[in-house]
């Protein structure tokens, strides 16, 4: 196994790595710096887009361009011009919230949660943006939405409120995009003050979770047992995604500056995006939004 720095553009809050199998490019975001980045698997051909407000997640569209989850809801992003177009704000009555982590299911729906920007009150929800651009609430009473991903068969949906310290599993209805039967899947150790953040599921059905403020990445088997632990060069790791030509590289984002004063600082590599090679594991292609 080898950990190396892919890019060191110092995002305030690096998040949301997304590998596009069609173009063989990695996308990642700076949530608080309001930027989207794209590069090759070796960190070359770096390009950046500025968006109007804080960004929690992005996904690519089947017809071209992207959807970005911003403070005031979902926007379309034209990757050629950089222009954005507002689609819908699912929480116009909650100015203290912003959209956070999100991913696309196999049917092309975008599931994205919101969070309290003060990271204190359970004012967040989990939302589903359908291809017809309608929006639907799936879960509520969340402080900080993170880590949405699915089992390889699409029948189990994983999601966490980071402040619970626990990753939850739900039954997922692939026909409707509805969730049911919430249960505890796995709890991350808290002896370092960490919390589960971004996550992905590999081709073997194991879940990889970035433990933010802890500096470790955990791999859980489908029954929730810890299978592997990777120590990272920084403590504030935020999210993970498989990519590369063979989907066998794990890309890892981190934050340069903690969002609140109570969180710890980090070393000179803070904010870097890393790549981990030689894991002997492959991921799965991320679907594009069908709308």
Q: What 3-state class would DSSP assign to 282?
A: coil
Q: How confident is the model at residue 6 (pLDDT cuts 50, 70, 90)?
A: very high
Q: What 3-state class would DSSP assign to 163?
A: helix
Q: How confident is the model at residue 264 (pLDDT cuts 50, 70, 90)?
A: low
Q: What is the average per-residue pLDDT within 258-274?
A: 80
Q: Is 97 annotated as a binding residue?
A: no
Q: What is the chain's mean pLDDT, rounded?
A: 96
Higher pLDDT, 120 or 259: 120
Q: What is the average per-residue pLDDT within 169-176?
A: 98
Q: Is 178 annotated as a binding residue?
A: no
- Choosing from 197, 202, 248, 266, which is the catalytic residue? 197
**Residue 197 designated active-site:** yes
Q: Is 22 annotated as a binding residue?
A: no
Residue 180: is it exposed, middle or buried by C-beta count within 10 angstroms (0-12/13-18/19+)?
A: exposed
Q: Is 197 annotated as a binding residue?
A: yes
Distance CA 246, CA 244 (A): 5
Whole-number pLDDT of residue 189: 81
DSSP 286: P
Place of tokens 């810890």: 226
Distance CA 13, CA 277 (A): 23
Whole-number pLDDT of residue 192: 81
Counting residues of the chain whose pLDDT is more than 70, the rounded percentage is 98
Q: Return the ∠ at Cα 65 (arms to 107 and 69), rounded to 5°.
A: 70
DSSP 164: G
Tell whether the model's pLDDT for residue 22 goes beyond 90.
yes
- Torsion-angle region of residue 210: left (phi > 0), alpha (psi -120 to 50) or beta? beta
Whole-number pLDDT of residue 177: 98
Q: How confident is the model at residue 257 (pLDDT cuts 50, 70, 90)?
A: confident
Whole-number pLDDT of residue 262: 65
Architecture of domain 2-14+97-277: 6 Propeller (2.120)
Whole-number pLDDT of residue 276: 98
């Amino acid at each position: 196994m080898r950990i190396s720095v892919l890019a060191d553009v110092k995002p305030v809050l690096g998040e949301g790595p997304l590998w596009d199998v069609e173009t063989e490019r990695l996308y990642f975001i700076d949530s608080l710096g309001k930027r989207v980045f794209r590069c090759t698997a070796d960190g070359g051909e770096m390009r950046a887009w500025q968006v109007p407000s804080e960004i929690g997640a992005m996904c690519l569209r089947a017809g071209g361009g992207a959807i970005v989850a911003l403070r005031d809801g979902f926007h379309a992003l034209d990757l050629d011009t950089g222009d954005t177009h507002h689609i819908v704000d699912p929480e116009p009555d909650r100015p203290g919230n912003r959209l956070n982590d999100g991913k696309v299911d196999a049917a092309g729906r975008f599931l994205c949660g919101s969070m309290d920007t003060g990271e204190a009150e359970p004012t967040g929800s989990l939302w589903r943006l359908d291809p017809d651009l309608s929006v639907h609430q799936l879960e509520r009473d969340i402080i900080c939405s993170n880590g949405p991903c699915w089992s390889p068969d699409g029948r189990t949906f994983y999601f966490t409120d980071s402040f619970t310290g626990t990753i939850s599993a739900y039954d997922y209805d692939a026909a409707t995009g509805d969730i049911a039967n919430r249960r505890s899947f796995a709890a991350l150790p808290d002896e370092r003050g960490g919390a589960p953040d971004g996550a992905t599921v590999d081709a073997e059905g194991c879940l990889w979770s970035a433990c933010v403020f802890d500096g470790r990445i955990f791999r859980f088997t489908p029954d929730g047992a810890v299978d592997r632990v990777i120590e990272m060069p920084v403590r504030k790791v935020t999210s993970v995604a498989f990519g590369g030509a063979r989907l066998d590289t794990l890309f890892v984002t981190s934050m340069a500056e903690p969002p609140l004063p109570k969180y710890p600082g980090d070393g000179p590599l803070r904010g870097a995006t890393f790549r981990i090679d030689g894991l002997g594991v492959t991921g799965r292609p991320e679907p594009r939004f069908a709308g």
